Amino acid sequence: MKLHGLVAATHTPFHPDGSLAPEVVPIQAAHLAGQGIRSVFITGSTGEGHSLTRDERLAIFRAWAEAGPAHDLTVVAHAGTNCLEDAKVFAAAAADLDLAAVAALAPSYYKPGSIDSLVDCCAEVAGAAPDLPFYYYDIPVLTGVRFPMQDFLTAASKRIPNLAGIKFTNDDLDNYAECLAIGGFDIPWGIDEKLLPALQAGAKGAVGSSYNFAAPLYQKLIAAFEAGDLETAERLQQESIELIDTLAAVGYLGAAKALMGWQGVPLGPARLPVGNPTPAQLDALREKLDSPVLQP
């Protein structure tokens, strides 16, 4: 399995009161499939995985295990959490549900202090689902765990038989290129605002939150890059940056979930400690977002 092309890092749907709304997952799946998305990455940062109880995360796994295949979507389950025993439960559940792969970020309260310790943590999670491809989710801006990922690949490949690669949400493009140069691993890029530089470095796939609601923009960007039309690709990348900055100005996650609601996918609010835009901010935001690619 390769996470090539655009992979949507999906939101977790809630009711207006903040309770879980797994019945919305089939609507999400249909929306994404209609936008040309073929793979999803569930319960990660965009999916507020750390704000879900164990039962809630498993409920989302089950919902996607049904909705994903029904819409020809490959489903990657993020299992990472500060409690490795919970992470192992999530990984095993992903295998039992026949999901396509499992991923995990590093524990971030008690942090691994070395590459070897990080590999030990990943080996525990990957070993709970030995028949599924395993991706390490490198996102140092949130975990505070930052090691050269080429060193991780070298060490982990000796310890984790099902290691598939890295979800690389790390703005170190030089390190990214070094990882790609090793060969033999699938390393999807994870920063939407820098997709074009990643493509230039050799990226074949990308996992991102804005692919939920702006996939056509990025599909055009990729097509322009592949056609050698860098001027158009750069213009589209700038549109992406401006879009993300506009949402971030009022609270990115809550604004993105509201935008999805305007596209017909009712995701509800973000959970505390993440904030949500006020009604007035949302009204102003909707007036700004007049791009055709953002319309339902």
What is the set of active-site residues? 137, 167
| C-alpha dihedral sign at 284, 275, 13, 209 | positive
Amino acid at 262: W
The backbone region for 98, taken as left when phi is positive above 0, alpha when psi lies in -120 to 50, beta otherwise, is left
How many CA atoms lie within 13 Å of 229's alpha carbon, on the beta-carbon side? 11
Any idea which residue has 């990348």 for tokens?
Answer: 237
In 3D space, the residue among 98, 27, 36, 41 whose CA is nearest the CA of residue 72 turns out to be: 36
Contacts of 155 (CB under 8 A, 6+ apart): 115, 116, 119
Compute the distance between CA of residue 259 and CA of residue 263 in angstroms, rounded to an integer. Answer: 6
Compute the distance between CA of residue 16 and CA of residue 281 in angstroms, rounded to an integer. Answer: 17
Compute the distance between CA of residue 240 and CA of residue 196 in angstroms, rounded to an integer. Answer: 11
Q: How far is CA 105 from CA 77, 85, 143, in A?
A: 12, 14, 8
In 3D space, the residue among 95, 116, 93, 98 whose CA is nearest the CA of residue 106 turns out to be: 116
